[in-house]
């Protein structure tokens, strides 16, 4: 008897569109925030354009598709991972307008008009970003599943904090989790990358 | 028939590549997001799968109606695993699955499958044995010596209660696979710890020949013991694929199911009494333990641990069957619990007689297996030195009047780590290129790197001159990566294979050097006459002597005796936790954590240290934060996510000091696995440090504010 149990974003958007039928405070706020006559996206798939790694990418996705799923399943950019699926672990981290975001917690349609940088745009095995290089040199990866998120979060952090202390690193990268236990390497990598990004003007 | 080649490792001081801190070879693809995991795989035409999971902890399925789901948009296949009549034993049990064009469509359709259940009584808690009823199964008592007499005559007796909760593996890549099943053939891209065993296991359930199943896995996002078997999951994906006309299906557990059913470490509770003398000598052990590995209760952790020869003992264990997801092997199965129970009870005995626990450990080290006694003495000293034990340790509870109390705790661990059976093929081509192939997997332990280092060392080449391929079922068979068996297995088979191939190259090159093959050696990219390095060919010149025929030589290891001392078993370690406990908030923080660890011949110290760091960080996470929380009423796991099932973050683990015990007497043992050994003592060391800080034993892990404050206030946790 579970057919009505699941709460879908489709229902959410429909509810919001007709003025908060579901009646929660959140939905009422969303409805109030929407300008009169605003176009309602969905519930079916809609064409969207995302700016990913500097290039426009046209997709057709349902409005409830998250940015991480759009990247992984529609664009085949699989560096960012979906792990906790609810904004806890940071494995899905990408940069949006230069800031780290959990891409599992951003809808793809809401990422339109914003500059999205994924790990694929930031670095490559042939031309490693200093953060990737520092992760390699300090062995800041084991299974590697969290590593993409950590590398992107580290770049986002260092862009805003070019001279971090180790305590700053512990705080700034506290939004990413690793199960293999690579934190010692990550701490050293972040501090090394900070030096190299300044020295090499490579950020 | 020529004599058996000398496979033994070069002496410690003469190694060129082995022993070097080579950066892991898959670092660049991992640090740039290019490593493709099974969950990143997207073969042409792939469908997305979703499960229907049972919401009851114990129930009988009375009907399953898939008709509505089958009509949903995008749906290509529906498969029922638990038809009417199935008795379900835990929440999250997989009842049915759907494959559709998108993941959202699959989830929508799964929600439309109507399953009716008849709920049945369940039990999901085992801490209170008196409430377990018929689910508790008491084993027979084991006795040795005369425990009764030893306790009567003892100068001191300590007793305590200890609790070690269920924790989940929480692999970041959940369990699952992409499977394509077309008639008599199948392809699988699984997330597994056993690439070459996978086809055989899947073949049994698909009833097609294992030779018709291709398995490939380049990278795996964590396993820790929970990914040995395809389980039912690959079979479900295969059935969906078959029903969808042979299109590949990606089917992975979502995070909630991963936490609920994909693997956990069994619990262990115990009441333990120790008898002994006031000089620290232990004379008797008495333990009554209980725990659960799920519906199958599982056995006891080995007790007493390490100090196995305590002459007088009595122990009994009760297994409890619960309606919860099944346990899986967890990085050193049984040993973490065993170390926790034994080392905590010994620390309590030390506190009882007012003695330094390191001295008590020393005093009783003759109860350890003879091969370990000297090593433990050395490692206890080394760890104490690195942790500044003499300066920082104080008798239990004498930690000053300030609300934040500092304490130190010690614990020990041991593990076999013998290599598994392994086969390797080394191919040397006439152009000088070298290919090494093993059907193994790199869990992130650095397997790729160490195989390549062994091959390069053996051939006198740099690491970059050796190409390695792993991760496929059509490669020479290796074993499952579990029990720290991989490094011993693959390094032994690789060494043998490379030496065998080199013998063939010597035969081809010898005439040009006017020498006999057995007079040649491979050094620094040259094939040269031993003792006359001027008489040499470059590697490429030597390989050209092969004409058009490549060399392809196998190396095999039976998993028992390699005949050359390349690998063996028996690692030991001592660890010390230095913690601070805020007695007002109950918060425990790690100041410093010291590990002294041996593992025989170290092929790559950088990667070996990473293994120890990783094991300790994972262990600190379990000691401070991790606990599966079950709801008595619904039988649900309440923290089946990564927000309330808390893992340690980068700021939670303190400073970690790793000392690899690579003395020549350890190096001479050959390669011994390192995945499990350092993962064993952490809970015990942290638990003992907390007791040392606050003056009283916090019985139950994890050392959360709740448990610490309950203990300080004298409440039952």
B613 touches chain A (CB under 8 A): yes
Q: Looking at CA atoms only, how far is residue B527 from chain A in angstroms? A: 32
Nearest residue of A to residue B651 by CA position? A170
Question: Using an 8 Å Cβ cutoff, are B114 and A9 in contact?
Answer: no
Residue B95 is encoded by which pair of tokens? Answer: 């009842």
The H-or-E segment that residue B290 falls in is strand B282-291
Cis-peptide into A163, omega within 30 deg: no
Question: Tokens 């409830």 identify what position?
Answer: A64
Query: Do A89 and B172 make contact, defined as CB atoms within 8 angstroms?
Result: yes
Contact A120 B33 (CB under 8 A): yes
Query: Would you call B700 helix, strand, or coil by DSSP?
Result: strand
- C-alpha separations of B111 from A61, B49, B72, B259, B696 in Å: 21, 13, 10, 20, 50
Count Cβ atoms below 10 Å from residue B368 Cβ, excluding itself: 22
Which residue in A80, A133, A170 is closest to B650 by CB distance?
Answer: A170
- Give CA–CA dist B295/B304, Å, rounded: 26
- Burial (CB count <10 Å: 0-12, 13-18, 19+), residue B552: middle
Chain A contact set for B443 (CB, 8 A): 142-143
Measured between CA atoms, the residue of chain A closest to residue B66 is A3
Architecture of domain B12-31+419-557: 2-Layer Sandwich (3.30)
User: Tokens at residue B498, please?
Assistant: 């490379």
Q: Give me the pLDDT at residue A39, please.
A: 73
Give the integer Cα–Cα distance in Å for B60 and B116. Answer: 9
Domain with CATH 1.10.150.120 in chain A: 123-200
DSSP state of B295: S
Backbone dihedral angles phi then psi of residue B663, each to the nearest 5 degrees: -60, 150
State the average pLDDT over residues A124-128.
Answer: 98
d(CA B417, nearest CA chain A) in Å: 19
Report pLDDT for A91.
98
B29 at A interface, C-beta within 8 A: yes
What is the Cα–Cα distance from B591 to B190, expressed in whole angstroms?
40
The CA-atom distances, in angstroms, between B686 and each of B347, B397, B579, B693 are: 12, 15, 7, 10
The encoded tokens of residue B681 equal 């003592």
Helix/strand number for chain B, H first, E second: 18, 29
Structure token pair of residue B209 = 């020949």
Give CA–CA dist B404/B631, Å, rounded: 33
Q: In this predicted structure, what is the pLDDT of residue A36?
A: 53
B5 CB within 8 Å of a chain A CB? no
CA atoms within 13 A of residue B43's CA, in its CB half-sphere? 17
Task: Kindly list the residues from chain A whose CB atom is less than 8 angstroms away from the CB atom of residue B52.
Answer: 2
- B40–A72 C-beta distance less than 8 A: yes
According to DSSP H, which parts of B154-207 are helical?
Answer: 195-206
Residue found under tokens 């690959």: B234
Cβ pair B24:A136 closer than 8 A: yes
Q: Which of residues 656-715 of B touch A (CB under 8 A)?
A: 656
- Can you tell me the distance from the alpha carbon of B439 to that of B474, in angstroms, rounded to the nearest whole number? 7
CATH 3.10.20.30 domain residues, chain A: 46-118
Q: What is the mean pLDDT of chain B?
A: 97
Q: Provide, as residue numbers in chain B, all residues whose Cβ is less than 8 Å from the Cβ of A72.
A: 40
Residues of chain B short of pLDDT 70, as ranges, are 1-2, 716-717
Residues 119-178, chain B, touching A (beta carbon < 8 A): 170-174
Assigned CATH for A123-200: 1.10.150.120
Under 8 Å CB pairs connecting chains A and B tally to 192
The whole-angstrom separation of Cα A105 and Cα A31 is 20
Q: How far apart are CA B687 and CA B620, in angstroms?
A: 10
Q: How far is CA B181 from CA A144, B46, B220, B471, in A?
A: 29, 12, 22, 20
CA-to-CA distance for B654 and A187, rounded, in angstroms?
Answer: 12
Of B33, B55, B610, the CB nearest to A142: B610
Closest Cβ–Cβ partner in A5, A88, A142 for B445: A142
Q: Do the two domains B12-31+419-557 and B264-417+568-712 of this chain adopt the same fold?
A: yes
- Distance, CA of B602 to CA of B383 (rounded, Å): 20
Q: Nearest-CA distance from B101 to chain A in Å?
A: 11
Could you tell me if A173 and A153 are in contact, meaning their C-beta atoms sit under 8 angstroms apart? Answer: yes
The pLDDT score that the predictor gives to residue A29 is 45
**pLDDT tens figures, B352-394:** 999 999 999 999 999 999 999 999 999 999 999 999 999 999 9
Question: What is the rounded distance in angstroms from the CA atom of residue B419 to the CA atom of residue B409?
Answer: 32
A8 and B254 in contact by Cβ < 8 A? no
CB contact under 8 A, B33 and A1: no
Would you say domain B264-417+568-712 falls under CATH 3.40.50.1860?
Answer: no
Distance from CA of B520 to the nearest CA of A (A): 36
- From B18's Cα to the closest Cα of chain A, the distance in A is 18
Q: What does the pLDDT read at residue A22?
A: 39
Q: Which among B174, B614, B651 has the least Cβ separation from residue A180?
A: B614
CA–CA min distance B169, chain A (Å): 9
Predicted local confidence at residue A199, as pLDDT: 67
B111 touches chain A (CB under 8 A): yes
CA nearest to A170 within chain B: B651
DSSP A24-77: -HHHHHHHHHSPTTPPPP-SS-EEEEEEETTEEEEEEE-TT-BHHHIIIIIS--
Q: Answer whether B617 sits within 8 Å of A137, measured CB to CB.
A: no
Which residues of chain A have a CB within 8 Å of the CB of B447?
Answer: none
Strands B655-660 and B114-119: unpaired
Give B-chain residues touching A129 at CB under 8 angstroms: 32
Of chain A, the percentage scoring pLDDT greater than 90 comes to 74
Contacts of B636 (CB under 8 A, 6+ apart): B55, B57, B91, B630
Q: Is B246 exposed, middle or buried (0-12, 13-18, 19+ CB in 10 A)?
A: middle
> For residue B79, what is the enclosing H or E element?
strand B75-80
Q: Share the mean pLDDT of chain A.
A: 85
Min Cα distance A39 → chain B (Å) is 23
Classify residue B2 by its DSSP letter: P
Gap from B252 CA to chain A (nearest CA, Å) = 11
Q: What is the CA radius of gyration of chain A?
A: 19
Residue B231's pLDDT is 84
Nearest CA in chain A to B113: A3
At residue A10 the predicted structure's pLDDT band, cuts being 50, 70 and 90, is very low
B282-291 and B268-276 strand pairing: antiparallel
Residues making up chain B, counted from first to last:
717
The class level of CATH for A46-118 reads alpha beta
- Give which of A83, A116, A172 to mutate to test B binding, by max B Cβ within 10 Å: A83
Specify the pLDDT at position A3: 39
Q: What are phi and psi of A201, to 5 degrees?
A: 45, 45
**Shortest Cα–Cα distance, B311 to chain A (Å):** 39
């Amino acid at each position: 008897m579970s057919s009505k149990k699941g709460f879908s974003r489709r229902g959410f958007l429909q509810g919001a569109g007709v003025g908060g039928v579901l009646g929660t405070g959140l939905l009422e706020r969303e409805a109030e925030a929407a300008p009169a006559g605003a176009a309602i996206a969905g519930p079916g798939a809609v064409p969207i354009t995302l700016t990913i790694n500097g290039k426009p990418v046209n997709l057709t996705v349902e409005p409830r598709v998250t940015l991480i799923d759009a990247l992984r399943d529609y664009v085949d950019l699989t560096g960012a991972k979906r792990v906790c699926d609810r904004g806890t672990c940071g494995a899905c981290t990408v940069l949006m307008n230069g800031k780290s975001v959990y891409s599992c917690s951003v809808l793809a349609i809401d990422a339109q008009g914003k500059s999205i940088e994924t790990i694929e745009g930031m670095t490559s095995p042939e031309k490693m970003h200093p953060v990737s290089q520092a992760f390699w040199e300090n062995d800041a990866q084991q299974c590697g599943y969290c590593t993409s998120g950590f590398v992107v979060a580290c770049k986002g952090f260092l862009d805003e904090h070019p001279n971090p202390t180790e305590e700053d690193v512990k705080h700034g990268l506290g939004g990413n989790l690793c199960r293999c236990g690579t934190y010692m390497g990550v701490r050293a990598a972040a501090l090394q990358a900070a030096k190299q990004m300044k020295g090499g003007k490579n950020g | 028939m020529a004599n058996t080649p000398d496979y033994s490792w070069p002496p410690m001081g003469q190694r060129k590549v082995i022993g070097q801190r080579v950066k892991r070879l898959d670092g660049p693809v991992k640090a740039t997001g290019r490593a493709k995991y099974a969950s990143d795989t997207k073969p042409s035409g792939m469908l997305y799968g979703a499960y229907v999971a049972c919401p009851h902890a114990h129930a009988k399925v009375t009907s399953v109606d898939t008709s509505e789901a089958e009509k949903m948009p995008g749906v290509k296949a529906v498969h029922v695993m638990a038809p009417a009549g199935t008795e379900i034993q835990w929440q999250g049990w997989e009842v049915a699955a759907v494959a559709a064009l998108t993941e959202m469509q699959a989830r929508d359709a799964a929600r439309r499958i109507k399953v009716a259940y008849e709920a049945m009584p369940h039990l999901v808690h085992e801490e209170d044995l008196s409430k377990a009823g018929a689910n508790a199964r008491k084993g027979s008592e084991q006795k040795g010596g005369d425990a009764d007499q030893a306790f009567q005559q003892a100068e001191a007796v300590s007793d305590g209660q200890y609790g070690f909760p269920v924790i989940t593996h929480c692999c970041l890549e959940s369990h699952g696979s992409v499977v394509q099943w077309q008639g008599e053939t199948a392809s699988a891209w699984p997330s597994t710890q056993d690439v070459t065993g996978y086809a055989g296991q899947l073949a049994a359930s698909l009833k097609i020949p294992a030779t018709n199943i291709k398995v490939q896995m380049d990278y795996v996002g964590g396993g820790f013991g929970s990914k040995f078997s395809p389980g039912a999951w690959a079979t479900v994906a295969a059935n969906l694929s078959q029903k969808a006309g042979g299109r590949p299906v990606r089917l992975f557990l979502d995070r909630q199911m991963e936490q609920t059913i994909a693997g956990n470490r069994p619990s262990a509770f115990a009441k333990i009494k120790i008898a002994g003398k006031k000089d620290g000598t232990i004379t008797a052990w008495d333990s009554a333990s209980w725990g659960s590995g799920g519906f199958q209760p599982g056995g006891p952790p080995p007790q007493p641990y390490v100090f196995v020869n305590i002459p007088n003992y009595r122990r009994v264990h009760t297994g409890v069957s619960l309606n919860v997801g099944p346990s899986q092997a967890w990085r050193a199965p049984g040993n973490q619990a065993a170390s926790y129970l034994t080392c905590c009870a010994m620390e309590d005995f030390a506190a009882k007689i007012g003695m330094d626990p390191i001295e008590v450990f020393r005093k009783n080290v003759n109860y350890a297996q003879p091969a370990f006694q000297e090593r433990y003495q050395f490692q206890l000293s080394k760890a104490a030195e690195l942790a500044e034990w003499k300066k920082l340790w104080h008798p239990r509870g004498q930690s000053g009047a300030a609300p934040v109390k500092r304490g130190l705790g010690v614990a020990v661990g041991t593990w076999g780590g013998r290599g598994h059976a392994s086969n390797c093929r080394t191919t040397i081509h006439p152009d000088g290129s070298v290919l090494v192939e093993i059907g193994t997997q790199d869990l992130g332990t650095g397997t790729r790197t160490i195989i390549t280092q062994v091959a390069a060392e053996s051939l006198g080449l740099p690491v970059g001159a050796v190409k390695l391929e792993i991760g496929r079922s059509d490669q020479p068979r290796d074993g499952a990566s579990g029990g720290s068996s991989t490094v011993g297995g693959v390094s032994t088979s690789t060494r043998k294979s490379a030496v065998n191939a080199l013998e063939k190259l010597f035969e081809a090159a010898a005439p040009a050097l006017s020498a006999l093959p057995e007079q040649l050696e491979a050094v620094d990219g040259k094939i040269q006459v031993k003792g006359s390095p001027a008489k040499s060919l470059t590697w490429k010149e030597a390989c050209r002597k092969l004409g058009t025929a490549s060399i392809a030589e196998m190396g095999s290891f039976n998993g028992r005796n390699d005949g050359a001392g390349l690998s063996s078993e028996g690692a030991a370690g001592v660890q010390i936790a230095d913690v601070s406990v805020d007695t007002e908030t109950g918060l425990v923080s790690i100041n410093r954590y010291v590990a002294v660890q041996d593992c025989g011949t170290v092929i790559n110290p950088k990667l070996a240290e990473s293994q120890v760091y990783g094991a300790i960080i994972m262990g600190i996470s379990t000691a401070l934060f991790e606990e599966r929380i079950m709801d008595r009423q619904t039988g649900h796991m309440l923290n089946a996510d990564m927000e309330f099932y808390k893992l340690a973050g980068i700021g939670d683990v303190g400073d970690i000091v790793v000392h690899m015990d690579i003395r020549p007497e350890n190096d001479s043992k050959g390669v011994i696995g390192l995945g499990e050994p350092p993962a064993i003592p952490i809970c015990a060391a942290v638990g003992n440090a907390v007791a040392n800080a606050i003056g009283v034993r916090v019985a139950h892990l994890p050392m959360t504010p709740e448990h610490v404050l309950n203990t300080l206030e004298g409440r039952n946790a």
